[in-house]
Amino acid sequence: MGRIDMGSLADLKALLHQHGLAPCRAKGQNFLFPESIQRRIVQQIGAVPPMILEIGPGLGGLTQALRAEYPDSSLILMEKDVRFAEILAQRIPNSTLILGDALALDWMPYEGATLIGNLPYNVSVPLVLRYVRHADLFPQAIFMFQREVGQRIMALPKSKAYGRLSVMIQAYTKVSKVMDLPSSVFWPKPAVDSMLLQFHRLDPMNTLAFSDLEPVVAAAFQHRRKMMTYGLASLGIPLEEAPFQLRVRAEEVSVPEFIRLAQWVKTVR
Ligand code: SAM
């Protein structure tokens, strides 16, 4: 990770002080401060995107790096904390700020945007699931997670971390790890380490609706230690007619097999 740039931390504290603000723990405000890391993160986007939607810009640290790296992209910011409105308007004049809960706000007007967000840990899972539901509309996303959650998202079959989250996300996106981040690059320092993940929509897209796959995966993982037939029985389907042997644990079933299974369930339900 290299040396941590404490100069950026001093700037961040000074900015808050100047506006008479303090980080709000309830809103999960842990600001990422080293400029070198902010730059590395935004460079991960690659080819210049026409539009970027940043979720939870906070004081605009990542946002400034985005603006510097992609001066011609339109930049939409969704931030829940109204206290940051003035700072964001001053620091990132050439952007559109939408105040509110990004989990509830409409994303559809920003179809085609690259999504990026360093969100509090309790928001990052619902956020990524919302993104995956609409992955056909958004070519890529970059989100921060608690390290254990990142490991669950990336997990492969036959591992302890493999579960609903891994299947639902990998069924619609290609996931890759950008970097691990120690808690020391955030201020205030959180109790856990982080992992930054990048998601690209699958090409070709999986055409099975999220809502058709979700109940099947949830039922299959209901009793992790038992064969998945126990959980799948709750769906009221003729299990003996399934396209492959279901007397296995859910954690042994690959993502393509789950998709096949859900496609079949759709035809017999
Ligand atoms: N992106 C900044 C950074 O990297 O330093 C801030 C990160 S801080 C962990 C998370 C930010 O997300 C805070 O500014 C917080 O107010 C905002 N936030 C939390 N929940 C949100 C939500 N549901 N919708 C939009 N913003 C949210």
CATH number at residue 223: 1.10.8.100
3-state DSSP assignment of residue 220: helix
Question: Does the beta carbon of 251 lie inside 6 Å of ligand 1?
Answer: no
Asked if the structure places residue 1 within a domain, the reply is no
Q: Which of 156, 176, 201 is the C-terminal boundary of a domain?
A: 201
Q: For ligand 1, atom 11, name the residue with the nearest CA.
A: 56
| 41 & 10 share domain | yes
Q: For ligand 1, atom 6, name the residue with the nearest CA.
A: 58
Question: Does the beta carbon of 32 lie inside 6 Å of ligand 1?
Answer: yes
The pLDDT, as a whole number, for residue 205 is: 92
Reference 38, options 3, 73, 71, 63; nearest CA is: 63
| pTM over cut 0.85 | yes
How many angstroms is it from 80 CA to the middle of ligand 1?
7
How many angstroms is it from 120 CA to the middle of ligand 1?
6
| 157 & 233 share domain | no
| 92 & 58 share domain | yes
| 62 & 147 share domain | yes
List of the chain residues with pLDDT < 50: none
Q: Which of 201, 234, 251 is the C-terminal boundary of a domain?
A: 201
Question: Does the beta carbon of 181 lie inside 6 Å of ligand 1?
Answer: no
| 82 & 100 share domain | yes
| 42 & 165 share domain | yes
| 189 & 262 share domain | no
Domain that holds residue 257: 210-268
- Nearest atom within ligand 1 for CA of residue 62: 4
The pLDDT, as a whole number, for residue 25 is: 87
Q: Half-sphere exposure of 121 toward its Cβ, with a 13 Å CA cutoff?
A: 15
| 47 & 109 share domain | yes
| 21 & 74 share domain | yes
| 190 & 215 share domain | no
| 142 & 20 share domain | yes
Q: What Å distances lie between residue 52 and 45, 62, 107, 140, CA to CA?
A: 10, 12, 12, 10
| Tally of domains in the chain | 2
Question: Does the beta carbon of 62 lie inside 6 Å of ligand 1?
Answer: yes
Q: What Å distances lie between residue 203 and 98, 163, 190, CA to CA?
A: 31, 23, 36
3-state DSSP assignment of residue 166: helix
| 145 & 178 share domain | yes
Rounded distance, CA 200 to CA 132, Å? Answer: 10
